[in-house]
Amino acid sequence: MRVESFSAETISLLTRVQHFLSRKGVELYLVGGWVRDELLGRPSCDIDLAISEEAEELAREFARESGGKFVLLDEANQVARVVFPEKGLYLDFATFRGSIEEDLARRDFTVNAIALKSEDFLKGVLCPIDPFGGQQDLKMRLIRAVRPTVFRDDPGRLLRAVRLAAELDFEIDGETGELIHRDREFLRLVAAERIHDELVKLLKLPHSARWLYQLDHLGLLELLFPELQEGKGVEQPPEHAFDVFEHQLQTVAAVERLLQGLSAGDELLKDFPLASRFRGHFEEQVSGHPRLVLLKLAALLHDVAKPRTKTQEQGRMRFLGHAKEGAKLASAMLERLRFSSREKKLISQLIEHHLRPGQLANLDEPPTHRAIYRYFRDVGEVAIDTLFLSLADHLATRGPRLDPEGWRKHLTGTQYLVARRLEEESRVIPPKLISGHDLIAQFGLQPGPKIGKLLELVREAQAEGKVKTKEEALELVRKELCTEEIK
């Protein structure tokens, strides 16, 4: 780490803070994640500051003086933020009690317990204060707890340890892993909102499936999603390489492989060339999270109801209704973790309809216009996402026994669905030809469910190309009403 390597804006801002606090006789240290990331060569815009006086009052005053925006993060622990949107920089002020060494001793992991005296840093004198060997752990790529009580002092760190290891591509130190397993039950004391945030941060990462296995190994996954444990040891039909639990984690890994393949041009997707159109699709934001997070959650939970719906009929294993039941169960699980109503709805849709793309793609004959229309109508906003979930489900079902011909058929079938969607969008989502008011005025019908059914009849006929004008639509309704009268 060299001072010259920092942007002029960062150095200028730190210099202003240093001068501001020096005038008041306040000690200033650069600490925590910012120091860690800079030592790793990972530039960060979020600069952590430890100061020897009350952070709230000083941060508020500095914001006024410097033109930044003040945000109080934690009044009880004296943590405040000053934001500079135009610079893309954040200063997090926190009060330290006693010496800086005592403050570092209260932190979570050794790699976060390193400090630099700001005054020395700005002079180009880099002498890290590192009482717990954090620099060595950075070299060893280890996440290690500062003390044995670190998780009991703050149980939210149980998930943070795994998320941080995943983010940095580090390993969790063996003794620290034992502490996590020992103290795992303390996770029940953590606010659902905090668990939600850590889980989302983990799922945003490109190789989060590996860390879901780590959560399971440490005993944390069953505390997050106890319903998943029901799938352990639950056998599936012969085409399945894994039990229900393992299959769901493998599906997350398959999703990640497919998403990586979109960017890298994976040979795995060669029979689905239109997949490249969706490279940016899974980065789109839904309730503040990229779509890929929702897709991974759906992959993790898509068969959660299988253990509860499993039956044996004449020697045949069945899971009737597991998709629909799974959608309901997943919604309740996500409610616990404070996912938004829209997120729950979309993930539930993904799970409820995850079997449909495979059924359409593997027909002996191409699906009809009506079938394609109904798929995109029913699945709506997550229609494309559900296609990719279906492909991941296929990969995770066969695992190492993947049949190339069966995979090719699934891909080409998916390619056909997307091609029809793109080429004939006006049929899949046809323009509105008539309204309920038209039916009331023309046929004297009363408002109610019947009008909705007649309008849907017209839309399906449009999707098949049988109805193209308002007159043809009204004639179709007239014939349907006559047929009903005859019956």
Statement to judge: residues 85 and 154 lie in one domain = no
Inform me whether the pLDDT recorded for 30 exceeds 50: yes
Residue 8: CB atoms within 10 A of its CB come to 7
Q: Are residues 161 and 180 in contact, defined by beta-carbon separation less than 8 angstroms?
A: yes
The interaxial angle of helices 192-204 and 208-217, nearest 10 deg, is 140
Residue whose C-alpha is closest to residue 120's, from 23, 28, 52: 28
> Given 410, 428, 446, which residue is the final one in a domain?
428
Inform me whether the pLDDT recorded for 362 exceeds 90: no
Residue 119 binned pLDDT confidence (cut-offs 50, 70, 90)? confident
The mean per-residue pLDDT over the stretch 323-336 comes to 97
Would you say residue 452 lies in a domain? yes
Statement to judge: residues 393 and 287 lie in one domain = yes
Question: 182-228: per-residue pLDDT in tens?
Answer: 999 999 999 999 999 999 999 999 999 999 999 999 999 999 999 99
What is the total residue count of the chain?
487
More reliable by pLDDT, 368 or 133: 133
Q: Are residues 443 and 477 in contact, defined by beta-carbon separation less than 8 angstroms?
A: yes
Residue 36 binned pLDDT confidence (cut-offs 50, 70, 90)? very high
Q: Are residues 274 and 411 in contact, defined by beta-carbon separation less than 8 angstroms?
A: no
Statement to judge: residues 14 and 75 lie in one domain = yes
Would you say residue 233 lies in a domain? no
The mean per-residue pLDDT over the stretch 277-281 comes to 91
Inform me whether the pLDDT recorded for 49 exceeds 80: yes
Amino acid at the residue 230: E
How far, in Å, CA of 331 to CA of 389, rounded? 17
Q: Which range of residues forms the domain containing residue 152?
A: 141-224
H helix or E strand, kind and range, residue 98: none
Inform me whether the pLDDT recorded for 5 exceeds 60: no
Structure confidence at residue 465 (pLDDT): 72
Question: What residues pair up with 172 in beta bridges, in sequence order?
Answer: 143
The mean per-residue pLDDT over the stretch 38-42 comes to 88
Inform me whether the pLDDT recorded for 430 exceeds 70: no
Structure confidence at residue 459 (pLDDT): 77
Residue 171: CB atoms within 10 A of its CB come to 15
Question: What residues pair up with 46 in beta bridges, in sequence order?
Answer: 90
Per-residue HEC secondary structure of 371-410 comes to HHHHHHHHHHHHHHHHHHHHHHHHHHHHHHHCCHHHHHHH
- pTM to 2 decimal places: 0.85
Structure confidence at residue 434 (pLDDT): 86
Statement to judge: residues 65 and 184 lie in one domain = no
Residue 428 binned pLDDT confidence (cut-offs 50, 70, 90)? very low
The mean per-residue pLDDT over the stretch 101-117 comes to 96
Supply φ then ψ for residue 78, to 5 degrees: 55, 65
Statement to judge: residues 148 and 91 lie in one domain = no
Would you say residue 447 lies in a domain? yes
Statement to judge: residues 399 and 451 lie in one domain = no
Structure confidence at residue 404 (pLDDT): 95
Encoding tokens for residue 187?
């996770």
Residue 426 binned pLDDT confidence (cut-offs 50, 70, 90)? low
Inform me whether the pLDDT recorded for 478 exceeds 90: no
Would you say residue 61 lies in a domain? yes
Structure confidence at residue 310 (pLDDT): 95
From 272-276, 385-389, 433-437, the region with the lowest mean pLDDT: 433-437
Would you say residue 230 lies in a domain? no
> Given 379, 394, 428, which residue is the final one in a domain?
428
Statement to judge: residues 86 and 10 lie in one domain = yes
Dihedral Cα 332, 336, 341, 342, nearest 10 deg? -90
The mean per-residue pLDDT over the stretch 57-65 comes to 95
Buried b / exposed e over 343-382, threshold 16 CB at 10 Å, is: bbbbbbbbbbbbbbbbebbeeeeebebbbbbbbbbebeeb
Question: 404-417: per-residue pLDDT in tens?
Answer: 999 999 999 999 99
Inform me whether the pLDDT recorded for 358 exceeds 50: yes
Q: Looking only at Cα atoms, what is the longest distance across the chain? A: 94
Q: Are residues 55 and 74 in contact, defined by beta-carbon separation less than 8 angstroms?
A: no
Statement to judge: residues 164 and 265 lie in one domain = no
Residue whose C-alpha is closest to residue 82's, from 74, 73, 71: 71
Statement to judge: residues 414 and 357 lie in one domain = yes
Q: Are residues 110 and 144 in contact, defined by beta-carbon separation less than 8 angstroms?
A: yes
> Given 382, 406, 428, which residue is the final one in a domain?
428
- Based on the structure, what is the number of domains in the chain? 4
Average pLDDT, the chain: 91
CATH code, domain carrying 119: 3.30.460.10
Statement to judge: residues 22 and 95 lie in one domain = yes
Residue whose C-alpha is closest to residue 429's, from 465, 377, 470: 377
Statement to judge: residues 216 and 271 lie in one domain = no
Residue 1 binned pLDDT confidence (cut-offs 50, 70, 90)? low
Would you say residue 235 lies in a domain? no
Question: 234-259: per-residue pLDDT in tens?
Answer: 999 999 999 999 999 999 999 999 99
The mean per-residue pLDDT over the stretch 8-24 comes to 90
Statement to judge: residues 310 and 354 lie in one domain = yes
* Residue % of the chain over a pLDDT of 70: 96
